[in-house]
Amino acid sequence: MSANAKLQVRKEKVIARGQGNLYPVYVKKALNAEVWDEDDNRYIDFGTGIAVCNTGHNHPKVSAAAKAQIDDFSHSCVMVNPYEEAVALAEQLVQLAPGDTPKKAIFVTTGAEAVENCIKIARAHTGRRGVIAFNGGFHGRTNLAMALTGKITPYKYQFGPFPADIYHVPFPTALHGVSEEQSLHAIETLFKVAIAPTDVAAIIIEPVQGEGGFYIAPPTFLQALRKLCDEHGIVMILDEIQSGFGRTGSMFCHEQANIEADLMTTAKGIAGGFPIAAVVGKANIMDAPLPGGLGGTYGGSPVGCAAALAVLDVIEEEKLIARSNEIGERFQTRLGALQKQFPQLIGEVRNRGAMIALELVNNGDAHQPNMVLTKALIANAPSHGLILLSCGFYGNVIRFLPALTIPFDQLEEGLNSFERLFKALAKAQKAA
């Protein structure tokens, strides 16, 4: 039995099945865009821990910053004895957040915590109760975050009841026939039949849906939402957990729509793999809760803050935002060529920077999702030296999240492997 297989047996005996693993591949070492498992197999990582390692695995500058911080101290609780690293990181985040309004930040540990704190802040600021989210959206696995999430299985199944006063509307997705006008009309209808706009505290949206399928919110739609929120005094929350820190070809995706969020969630790519998350927002809104109303024991870990400061340096020094766009263009070219060869199987190739999706269909019909081919690609990726992720409302989207530091020869190697795998499985599906 292989080392990987032995570890999988051990894991299944002691870790609950709810915390499953996509691959029975146990990481022994990782460097930049490469991963080696316990059996010394090498993989090109097109998932980066779900958009966490934007600066690659084990970036020397990030690792050095974390090690230096550990030598000083690893924890004091930022709410008890704070430290310069947290202040310095907050200073940078409020400067980097889109828009000119003065801003403040808080630190927590996970993206779900950031989302929940956004709702707390919005409710404290407005004195209102309701929150509007979007079908297909994903905002975390805690109870309120699950209520906001617009997908049942596996995230919400068996876990209710969920908090009240949460409302969902369609996300604009041209491929599936949902227009911007229809989404906006759904909100206006909600105001007439379910909750008055004067009772709505916040609208939360991902500028690019993550688990939902990497559907991109059109800039015009985000601008219309911004106008609607301003008209009704609603807090506009941009969930940038997966799309931030250079992933989408700008530091934060919604700046491409030339709008300013009231509150913004950040996590994942913030610290190159160290657990930390933040809420950044307009100062007058952020200051609505009373002292002690926000926080957490591990929020703003000094090691996470030190790593995050190094990540921001790396993004600037290595020009990773420009590189994100170049990576996206290379994927779009290669996957676009594959789509021309297999128009009956590939419904759409889409990207915003290095947040790239391949939607798989049957008979060239976007309304016939091809989950069988998607599952086969994921299952067979390790044997082709790849780590791949899927997503989508129907589980029929392959998402690519390469490190923004990936060498281009490795990028091409990985795409070559994916193309060979895709063609082999497409042929097998046609013959079946």
Residue keyed to tokens 């923004």: 404
- Who's near 88: CB < 8 A, 6+ residues apart? 305, 309
Q: Which of the 8 DSSP states describes residue 197?
A: G
Question: By the 8 A CB rule, do 24 and 30 touch?
Answer: no
The beta-strand segments (E) located in 124-206 are 130-134, 166-169, 200-205
Phi, psi of 25 (to 5 degrees): -120, 115
The tokens of 343 are what? 């128009």
Q: Give the pLDDT of residue 269.
A: 97
Alpha carbon 252 to chain centroid, angstroms? 12
pLDDT beneath 50: ranges in the chain: none
Of residues 283, 132, 143, the one with CA closest to residue 195:
132
Q: What is the pLDDT of residue 432?
A: 67
Q: What is the pTM of this model?
A: 0.96
According to the model, what pLDDT value does residue 33 have?
98
Domain(s) of CATH 3.90.1150.10: residues in the chain = 3-55+319-431
State residue 429's pLDDT score: 79
CA 167/CA 66 separation, integer angstroms = 41
Classify domain 3-55+319-431 by CATH number: 3.90.1150.10
| Cα dist from 363 to 174, 343, 413, 426, 431, whole Å | 18, 8, 29, 12, 14
Alpha-carbon Rg for the chain, nearest whole angstrom, is 21
End-to-end CA distance of the chain: give it in Å, rounded.
32
Domain limits, CATH 3.40.640.10, in the chain? 62-317
pLDDT of residue 93: 98
> What CATH topology corresponds to 62-317?
Aspartate Aminotransferase; domain 2 (3.40.640)
> Which residue type is seen at 136?
G
CA dihedral 14, 15, 17, 19 (to 10 degrees): -170
Secondary element (H or E) of residue 239: strand 235-239
Please classify residue 317 by burial: count the beta carbons closer than 10 Å to its beta carbon, then call 0-12 exposed, 13-18 middle and 19+ buried: exposed
